[in-house]
Amino acid sequence: MSTASSVTSPADPMPVAPPDPVLPSGFRWGTATAAAQIEGAAETDGRGPSIWDIFATEPGRIRGGHTPAVACDHYHRSADDVRDLAQLGIDEYRFSISWSRVLPEGRGTVNQRGMDFYSRLVDELLTAGIRPVPTLYHWDLPQALQSAGGWLERSTSDALADYAAIMVDALGDRVHQWWTLNEMNVHTLYGHALTDHAPALGMGLDCMPVAHNLLRAHGLAVHAIRAAGDHHEVGVVQQHFPVHPASDSPEDVEAADLFRILTNWTFADPVLAGRYPDDFVAELVATSAGLTAGQLEDDLGVMSEPLDHYGVNYYEPTVIEAPKPGKDYSGILEVDFPADMPFSPVRIEGVERTDFDWPVVPSGLTEILRTLHERYPGLPPVTITENGCSYDDGPGPDGAVHDVRRIDYLRAHLTAVSEAIAAGVDVRGYYVWSAMDNFEWAAGYGERFGLVHVDFDTLQRTRKNSWYWYRDLIDRVRHSR
C-alpha cells in the first residue's frame, strides 16, 4: 500500500535551482564602488570640492536635487562596511580615491587627514583578507583643476600623473594593484560632449581633446606606478558594449560604425594598439588639441604602456540608426544626443528591463568579450570591473530584501562570462556593481545598484538576498574542482 507522503505530485514540482555558472575555482571575486558615490564627508577633514560637488549645487542637474555630500557616509563607516565585505567572502575590493580629498587643489600640498582615511581603509581591507584595488580617477576632478581648464588642458594629465605618484608612494607598501581611470568614454561623452554629467560642458565633438588628455593621463599614471617597482600591477577600467545597426541599410551601418568607433575603439585602440581607430578620429584629435603628427605619435606611445589587467565594465548593448527626420529619439538611452548628431539610438524591444529602464542582455557581455579578444591579440587578462543592475527593492514586512531580479541578472551575466572563457577569452575576475546602494550620478539616490540596501534617511544598511546568493556562489565556486 502506498502512502500519500511518498508521492510527489507532478503538478506541484519542487522548484529547481538554476545551475551555477561554470567558473574556475581560482576566479577572483569582488565588488566595486566609487568615492563620490559612497564616501560623503564632502567637506570633512580638509577635503576640497570636486566637479560633482559643484554640479550638484546647480538646479535641475540631479534628479530630486540630490547631492553627494553625505551619500552612504562610508567615510565614517568604512570599518563596518569592510566587515560586511569580509563576510561576503570577496577576494578583491575596487574602490576609488577622491583626488580632492588627498590634494584639495588637485596638485601641491597633500591633505594628510584625507590620505589617512585611505591608509586606514587599506589596512582594514588587508586585515579582512581582501586585496585593495583602488581606481585613481572615477570622474571626480578637483574643482580647482576644472577652474583651470579641466581635461581640456594637457597639464591636467601631468597633474594626474603627479597624484598617481603620490598615491603609490603613500600606499604602495600595501597596495600592489591599481586601476588608473574609470570609463574615459562615458566621462568624455556625458560630461564634456553632453551636459548630463559634471562638468557639463556640452561641446559635442569639439571635446575630443578631453579624450586625448584622459588617455594621456592614463599612460602617464601607468608610468608613475611602474616607476615604484615591478611588483605593482596596473590596468585601466573601460566601459564596453556591442553596437549594432538597426538595419542592414548602408546609412544605419555607417551610423553604427561611427558610434562604435567613437564610444569603444577611440578609447581602447590607443591603450591596446597604440593608435587611434582611424584617420578621421586621429585628425579630429590632432586638430582640436592642436597637436603635430609627431606629438600625436609620441602621445600614443605614452598611452599604450603595457598593462597587467584590462578592466571591462558592461551594462547594455546599443542599437543605432541614421537619424530619421522628425522622429523623436528622447528617452531611449539614459542620455539624449543633440539632433545634429549623425547617429541615433533605437529602443531594444523584446527583452527584460531594469528599473533604470536599461535592457537586460547578458549575451552582449559574451559578445563584447569575444570582440575584444579578436580585435586585440595582446589583450591582457580581463577583469569584469563592473556589472550590475538597478532594481528598487527594499526591505519587506519580514525585513528581508527579496531582490530576485538581481540574482537572475547576476547569474545570467556570470554565465555569459563563463561562455566567453569557454570561447578562449582570458577573464580572471568579476566585480559586482555595487557593494551598496549609492549616489547614482545624475539619477541621485533614485537608482539602487547595491548588494546591500541603504536607507538614505537613516543610513541603515540591510543585506539584500542577492548578497547572500553572491556569498554562497563564491563559496561554492571556490571549493569546486
**Which of 234, 243, 440, 474 contacts ligand BGC by CB under 6 A?**
440
Tell whether residue 31 is a contact of ligand BGC (CB under 6 A). Answer: no
**Which of 73, 269, 386, 393 contacts ligand BGC by CB under 6 A?**
386
Q: How far is the CB of 309 from ligand BGC (least distance, A)?
A: 16
Nearer to ligand BGC, 181 or 286 (CB): 181
Nearer to ligand BGC, 84 or 183 (CB): 183
Residues 164-183, interacting with ligand BGC (CB under 6 A) = 182-183
Q: How far is the CB of 34 from ligand BGC (least distance, A)?
A: 5
Q: How far is the CB of 186 from ligand BGC (least distance, A)?
A: 5
Sheet with 28-32: list strands edge to edge. 131-132, 92-94, 28-32, 427-433, 382-386, 309-313, 233-239, 177-182, 135-137
- Answer positive or negative: Cα dihedral of 88, 93, 99, 102: positive
Judged by DSSP in three states, 32 sits in: strand
Nearer to ligand BGC, 245 or 364 (CB): 364
Q: How far is the CB of 184 from ligand BGC (least distance, A)?
A: 11
Question: Choosing from 183, 305, 321, 334, which is the catalytic residue?
Answer: 183
Tell whether residue 186 is a contact of ligand BGC (CB under 6 A). Answer: yes
Is 183 an active-site residue? yes
Residue window 301-340: x/- pattern of binding to ligand BGC, with contact defined by CB under 6 A: ------------x---------------------------
Measured distance CA(438)–CA(458) in Å, rounded: 14
Nearer to ligand BGC, 121 or 186 (CB): 186
Q: How far is the CB of 192 from ligand BGC (least distance, A)?
A: 15
The angle at the Cα of 126, spanning 44 to 429, to the nearest 5 degrees, equals: 105
Measured distance CA(473)–CA(464) in Å, rounded: 15
Tell whether residue 239 is a contact of ligand BGC (CB under 6 A). Answer: yes
Place of cell 589617512: 116
Q: Which three cell numbers stand for residue 313?
A: 565594465
**Which of 23, 29, 34, 72 contacts ligand BGC by CB under 6 A?**
34
CA 309 to centroid of chain Cα atoms: 15
Q: How far is the CB of 68 from ligand BGC (least distance, A)?
A: 11
Nearer to ligand BGC, 107 or 309 (CB): 309
Q: How many CA atoms lie within 13 A of 442 on its CB side?
A: 16
Measured distance CA(32)–CA(440) in Å, rounded: 13
Q: How far is the CB of 275 from ligand BGC (least distance, A)?
A: 25
Strands (E), 274-401: 309-313, 318-321, 344-346, 382-386
Q: How far is the CB of 464 from ligand BGC (least distance, A)?
A: 17
CB neighbours of 101 closer than 8 A, spacing ≥ 6? Answer: 35, 39, 45, 47, 48, 111, 114, 117, 118
Place of cell 530584501: 401
Place of cell 571591462: 312
Nearer to ligand BGC, 236 or 246 (CB): 236
In degrees rounded to 5, what are phi and psi of residue 234?
A: -140, 145
Question: Choosing from 386, 419, 440, 447, which is the catalytic residue?
Answer: 386
Q: Which three cell numbers stand for residue 463?
A: 543585506
Q: How far is the CB of 298 from ligand BGC (least distance, A)?
A: 30
Residue window 399-438: x/- pattern of binding to ligand BGC, with contact defined by CB under 6 A: ----------------------------------x-----
Is 58 an active-site residue? no
Q: Which three cell numbers stand for residue 380?
A: 591582457
CB neighbours of 131 closer than 8 A, spacing ≥ 6? Answer: 91, 92, 93, 125, 177
In a 10 Å sphere around its CB, with 0-12 CB exposed, 13-18 middle and 19+ buried, how is residue 152 labelled?
A: buried
The Cα-based distances of 412 to 188, 334, 409 in angstroms read 30, 23, 5
Nearer to ligand BGC, 41 or 435 (CB): 435
Nearer to ligand BGC, 157 or 239 (CB): 239
Q: Tell me, by CB under 6 A, how many residues bind ligand BGC.
A: 11
Nearer to ligand BGC, 30 or 245 (CB): 30
Measured distance CA(431)–CA(403) in Å, rounded: 18
In a 10 Å sphere around its CB, with 0-12 CB exposed, 13-18 middle and 19+ buried, how is residue 121 labelled?
A: buried
CA 342 to centroid of chain Cα atoms: 26
- Residues annotated as part of the active site: 183, 386
Residues that bind ligand BGC (CB under 6 A): 34, 37, 182-183, 186, 239, 313, 386, 433, 440, 449
